[in-house]
């Protein structure tokens, strides 16, 4: 009887974990939805990731995440997006910041009053 109760408790805990995982995750936007915010195409943003990685020395995944966050914020223009992405990637690497913290810092330098709430939903 005790094994039955323990098994049901374990199954219940696993189901609760799955439910919380799917309810608690935020809906992220696809890059095709984000690209028009900065006046660029999906292909342009995808091509920018390797260039940012090469210029800043971060991983390709980190550079793509920085590009995504900057584009998603809508606060960066297409003329300065790559430079800001490289700066944010260097800052994240040098100061050991998360990609999100580095993007907020770079956007705050460019525009006064920028906070982490600007990246909500990104």
Chain segment 22-39, per-residue pLDDT in tens: 565 555 677 788 888 888
CA distance 89 to 78: 17
CA distance 91 to 104: 11
Q: Which of 113, 48, 27, 40 is nearest to 74 (CA)?
A: 40
pLDDT tier, 3 (very low <50, low <70, confident <90, very high otherwise): confident
The answer, as to whether pTM is greater than 0.75, is no
Lowest mean pLDDT among 21-30, 69-78, 87-96, 98-107: 21-30
């Amino acid at each position: 009887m005790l094994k039955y109760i323990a098994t049901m408790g374990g199954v219940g805990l696993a189901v609760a974990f799955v439910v919380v995982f799917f309810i608690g995750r935020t809906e992220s936007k696809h890059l095709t939805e984000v690209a028009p915010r900065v006046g660029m195409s999906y292909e342009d943003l995808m091509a920018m990731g390797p260039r940012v990685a090469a210029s800043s020395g971060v991983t390709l995944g980190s550079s793509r995440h920085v590009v995504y966050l900057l584009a998603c914020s809508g606060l960066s223009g297409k003329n300065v997006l790559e430079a800001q992405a490289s700066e944010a990637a260097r800052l994240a690497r040098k100061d050991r910041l998360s990609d999100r913290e580095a993007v907020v810092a770079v956007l705050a330098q460019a525009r006064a009053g920028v906070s982490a709430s600007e990246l909500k939903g990104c």
